Amino acid sequence: MAANNYTLGRGKLYFSRFKTDTQIPEGFQYFGNTPELSLTIESEDLDHYSSDAGIREKDDSVALEVTRTGSFSTDNINPENVALFFFGTAETLTQGSLTTQTETLASVVLGRVYRLGVSATNTTGYMGITETGFAMTVGATPLVEDTDFTVDYVNGNITILEDATNVSAGDDVDVAFGIDASTRDRVISGTTPVEGAMMYVANNPKGDDINYILPYVKITPNGDYALKSDEWQTIPFSLEALKPDNGAAIYADGVPTFA
């Protein structure tokens, strides 16, 4: 009789989106640390019972359907993982430098925060305001930083102070500014679950390693992604393992031995 294979599971989880209009992985990317990973298999059977005599007794059963799902979480908070949570995509946004720009903040409200450059084509506005040459005025009256307003130059936020001296509620504030050239990561949310292939490479401290390939999965968010808490941020996901056009839904491979 074979010895018991008591196992303490550890390993790395990878995911690849499909190449366009295919079920072929474009290349697997490591999720980062995944504290939890589990698979769930549920089936629905149609039972048959003999009714010829006495009590009915089940004499046959056939499986009608099987559903393969799972869940996992990662505490690797990178743009790609955040994008998966929001059904979205991750990209690197490049902002070119701008000089001698002007904008009017109409009918300001004291204590409010404003962003420059917000428009129908730039819904988030500018980041990286140039400190040199930045100026705000009400008519011919210059406003004074830290007296009338404050600026978060990196994040692009301008706050009109509630106790401002030279600006009143309802004033139009003219802003002269520039924008520094920069790049930044950006995630844009979407509406469609992400499809691709998943791979789990085991590295167990106890027990034989079994590696898993799921050739066709859909990934969806599963619960709360706490942006602020006293715990490490963790992103939770659900997965559904589907049968690809050619092949099975799940492959579990032991580590090969070589002659």
The CA distance from 90 to 18, in Å, is 15
Please indicate whether residue 1 or residue 29 has the higher confidence score (pLDDT): 29
Mean pLDDT value across residues 15-23: 93
Helix/strand/coil for 65: strand
Question: Mean pLDDT score of the chain, rounded to an integer?
Answer: 94
pLDDT for the residue 44: 93
The CA distance from 4 to 36, in Å, is 24
Report in angstroms the alpha-carbon separations of 29 from 12, 197, 204: 10, 10, 21
pLDDT for the residue 1: 67
Mean pLDDT value across residues 3-16: 94
In this structure, of 47-56, 73-82, 215-224, 230-239, the range with the lowest mean pLDDT score is 47-56
> Which residues 6+ apart lie within 8 Å of 228 measured at CB?
none
pLDDT tens digits along 87-131: 999 999 999 999 999 999 999 999 999 999 999 999 999 999 999
**CATH of 11-47+62-90+188-254 given 2.30.110, 3.30.70, 1.20.1420, 2.30.30:** 2.30.110
Q: Is a pLDDT exceeding 90 seen at residue 3?
A: no
Report in angstroms the alpha-carbon separations of 86 from 75, 119, 162, 220: 16, 23, 36, 8
pLDDT tens digits along 136-151: 999 999 999 999 999 9
Give the residue carrying structure tokens 């032991």: 254
pLDDT for the residue 54: 83
pLDDT for the residue 229: 94
Q: Is a pLDDT exceeding 80 seen at residue 248?
A: yes
Task: Enumerate the domain spans of the chain.
Answer: 11-47+62-90+188-254, 97-180
pLDDT for the residue 79: 95
pTM of the model: 0.85
